[in-house]
Amino acid sequence: MKFMVETSARHIHLTQESVEKLFGAGHQLQPRKNLSYPGIYACHERLTVVGPKRSIENISVLGPCRTADQVELSGSDARTLGIDAPIRESGHLAGSGACKLIGPAGEIDLSEGVIIAKRHIHVTDVDAEKMGIENGQIVKVALGGPERRLIFDDVVVRVNHGGITTMHIDTDESQAAGSPTEGEIVFDGEKINGLPTHIIAQKGIARTFQNIRLFGDLSVYDNLLTACQKNITYSLFHGFLRTPNCRRQEKAARAECDALLEEMELTTQSGQKASNLPYGMQRKLEIARALATHPKVLLLDEPAAGMNEEESVQLSAFIRNIRDSRDLTIVIIDHHMDVIMSICDRVSVLNFGTLLADGEPSEIQSNPEVIAAYLGVDE
């Protein structure tokens, strides 16, 4: 049987008591849009989740209220925050991870409630009968086409009345399963579907990640040098003998690394371990490392994730400077609208995987479909 697969992004369930602590006395959750599971909706309200290492802002609250507070994250989110979050079914919270929630009217400390949701599939009662499966049963689910199939085992069946049969996976699993089923990715007139990452980088595409992926045990300098060495072409033989050609290319790579450190204002931190840098500087270093590959296109995946307002403003200025001083295209995916609107000259809005709008920032901000989908409208 074929069915829909949805990516379940990080989100929060709250009790009414917590809603009032975080948003004010008497506050009621304001529905924004209905989700595929019957009776569940995304709300206008958003919160900041704080862990031992980092914080993540702008996390969506889902309604209606529950009897216990629950924060659902991906494994990458949990590692970024420094939270020991177990893989659990929704509602199984005993001994789960702890965090702090910050809202506009207050904050609360959760001693437990943070989980990585066990992968599951919501099945209508009609489809469950057709497939001969029951609520709570563990099944295997295959995603993708015959040429590249990904099989998820240990998937929990949740039978419900109404709605549509839908499998939910988190953002980490979605990326793992994300090979396209049709279409082509064309860059500079060449199809690049399925090419190895290093070949794509050689063709002029560089990227950063939502969860920073620096070489934490290496110095700032060595992180950059690894990227500056992309254009080194000498053979193993020349490297072993340290020939003039070898030394000349390595000298050029080091000179480029020094110049990039100065441009990015990281020279004084060059000898520090990357993992010891403040979060904002780690993000800056990751972008600098991508630039060291001389990309034609720079992809930034939620660069403002985990940053406070001051850090986001500084990051926006940093990216604008890159945009204005280099001959390259920057593509940003982010939920921080202030960052997007302050940097981008063209904005595309997706809603449940469908292109909702495309245009200049001023057009997007006044687009009624965007407002209805992301801000809600009065009935």
Residues 22, 101: contact at Cβ < 8 Å?
Answer: yes
For residue 3, give every residue at least 6 positions away whose Cβ sits within 8 Å of its Cβ, in sequence order, or none.
121, 127, 164, 165, 166, 167
The CATH code for residues 186-344 is: 3.40.50.300
Helices 244-263, 220-228: axis angle to 10 degrees equals 120
63: β partners? 41
- pLDDT value for 100: 96
Domain boundaries, the chain: 1-173, 186-344
- Enumerate residue ranges in the chain where pLDDT < 50: 378-379
**Cα angle 308, 113, 33; round to 5:** 70
Give the span between the Cα atoms of 105 and 55, in whole angstroms: 18
- pLDDT value for 379: 45
Residues 46, 58: contact at Cβ < 8 Å?
Answer: yes
- pLDDT value for 300: 93
What is the token pair recorded at 125? Answer: 């009662």
SS3 2: coil
Give the span between the Cα atoms of 20 and 25, in whole angstroms: 5
58: left (phi over 0), alpha (psi -120 to 50) or beta: left
